[in-house]
Amino acid sequence: MKKLVLFIIPILVLSFLTSCRPPELEGAFVDYNAGRFDNALKLAQEATQKYPDNAEAWFLLGEIYGKKERYLEMKRAFDKSLKLSNVFADKIKAAKIYYYQNLFNRGVNNYNTFTKMEDRTTDEAKKQLKKAIEYFKLANIVQTDYKSIDLVALSYTLIGEKDSALVYYTKLTEMAPDSADGYIKLGRYELINSDYDKAIKALEKALSIDPSNPEAIQIIAEAYDRAGMADKAIKSYQKAMEVNKEEKAFPFNLGLLYFKLSSKEGIDENLKNEYLQKCIEAFSRVIELDPSMKEPYDFKSNCEILLKKYDEALVTLKQAVERFPDNGPFWYNLGVVYSHLNNVKEATNAFKKAEELGVK
């Protein structure tokens, strides 16, 4: 008799376990596994309405919405399931990763197609970017992610939709308020669109988070410069040069700023000469970092001529014509310098060379 009782109990337990899933939900699983997603969706919706506290019903409903590419509803169903129970947490996490990666990669494919186009102004090019934006947005619905928002902002920028781009650059700062990156990107965007006050505000925030960030320092220096805040711009460029001694853009921009300041109407002569000397020093640094650039020789030699430092200008211009023998203005300025140094023969030769190159 004892053996008979022991035999019956497992059967009763098994019967209880298989009967705990509601019939609507069981039917939804059958249709889902068979690929009949429309009917599975109908049954799963009925199951969640009839049994709103059933975490498995909400989980399956999310799975079905994923198959039907209804990602917002998928996320809501998954979130509801997780709120009720953590039993399906691992499966939900895996599903979100799968759909996020799939959508993100599809967006990247469209974005890469756009970047490879020779003419990015065509309707087809814009179509590719709009499709990329759509996929990145969907990916962000499935799983909130900084990178997808960043690419949406960039894509809107490239497509010329400024207001939308600004919304997403602002979102970057909201998603990662303790990171300088979002504020730098927002600041750069505001600078491109000539809103210097907003650019400076964003970049100052970036620097409050990461005071030595070379990108933020460079961009804010340019923003200060364009906003007419020369003193702050100079300090920022100097700081940038300390942070990254190998970057030629910093001394180049600083040299341009000094040259611009020296050209201001009505400027005191002593101050003008001070700016010209600093301009020379900045462009000397650029030449040291990259001797193949033409512009630094031009600015440096002109400043030296304006300061009547003809011997120094001679050295600079000799270096220039050696590197750029077909540049007429360099030969002409070399003739000017030789004239001031009373070297008539070399001046005549330099002017002749300049004339041959179309400069009189």
Find the mean pLDDT for residues 243-272: 93
Predicted pLDDT of residue 214: 85
Q: Are 125 and 117 in contact (CB under 8 A)?
A: yes
With a pLDDT cut of 70, the percent of the chain lying above it is: 95
Please list, in sequence order, all residues whose beta carbon lies within 8 angstroms of the beta carbon of residue 63, skipping any fewer than 6 positions away. Answer: 32, 74, 95
Q: Which pLDDT band holds residue 7 (cuts at 50, 70, 90)?
A: very low
Segment 25-64, tens digit of pLDDT: 999 999 999 999 999 999 999 999 999 999 999 999 999 9
- In b/e form, how buried is each residue of 224-245, taking b as 16+ CB within 10 angstroms? bbebebbebbbebbbbbbebbe
Residue 25 counted as domain residue: yes
Rounded mean pLDDT of 82-86? Answer: 96
- Give long-range contacts, CB 8 A cutoff, 24+ apart: 124-128: 126/159
Residue 2 clears pLDDT 90, i.e. is over it: no
The predicted model gives 269-295 an average pLDDT of: 96
Distance CA 29, CA 36 (A): 10
Residue 275 lies in a domain: no
User: Residue 143, SS3?
Assistant: coil
Q: Write out the two tokens for 275.
A: 């700016």
Check which CATH number belongs to the domain holding 46 and give it.
Answer: 1.25.40.10
pLDDT for 154 beyond 70: yes
Q: What is the DSSP letter of 95?
A: H
pLDDT, mean of residues 346-350: 95
Q: Taking 80 as the threshold, does the pLDDT of residue 14 lie above it?
A: no
pLDDT at 12: 34
Mean pLDDT of 127-139: 96
**Residue 312 reports pLDDT greater than 60:** yes
pLDDT above 90 (res 79):
yes
Average pLDDT estimate for 287-310: 96
Token pair listed for 281: 């020093």
What is the C-alpha to C-alpha distance for residues 189 and 227, in angstroms, rounded to an integer? 15
- Dihedral of CA 197/202/206/208: which sign? positive
Share above pLDDT 90 across residues of the chain, in percent, rounded to a whole number: 89
304 has pLDDT over 80: yes
Q: Cβ atoms within 10 A of the Cβ of 121, count?
A: 8
Is 79 part of any domain? yes
The better pLDDT of the pair 304, 18 is held by: 304
Q: 333: helix, coil or strand?
A: helix
**Mean pLDDT on 147-165:** 94
Assigned domain for 268 exists: no
For residue 81, being part of any structural domain is answered with yes
Residue 34 structural domain: 21-87
**Per-residue confidence (pLDDT) for residue 360, from 0 to 100:** 80
- For residue 17, name the pLDDT band (cuts at 50, 70, 90): very low
C-alpha 97/C-alpha 61 separation (Å) is 17
d(CA 331, CA 337): 10
Helix %, strand %, coil % of the chain (to 5): 80, 0, 20
pLDDT tens-place string over residues 177-196: 999 999 999 999 999 999 99
- Domain total for the chain? 1
The pLDDT value recorded for residue 19 is: 46
Domain annotation covers residue 180: no
- Nearest-CA neighbor of 218 among 179, 186, 244? 244
In a domain, 136, yes or no: no
Within the chain, how many helices (H) and strands (E) appear? 19, 0
pLDDT digits (tens, 9 = 90+) for 315-347: 999 999 999 999 999 999 999 999 999 999 999
Q: What is the mean pLDDT of residues 97-125?
A: 95
pLDDT for 244 equals: 87
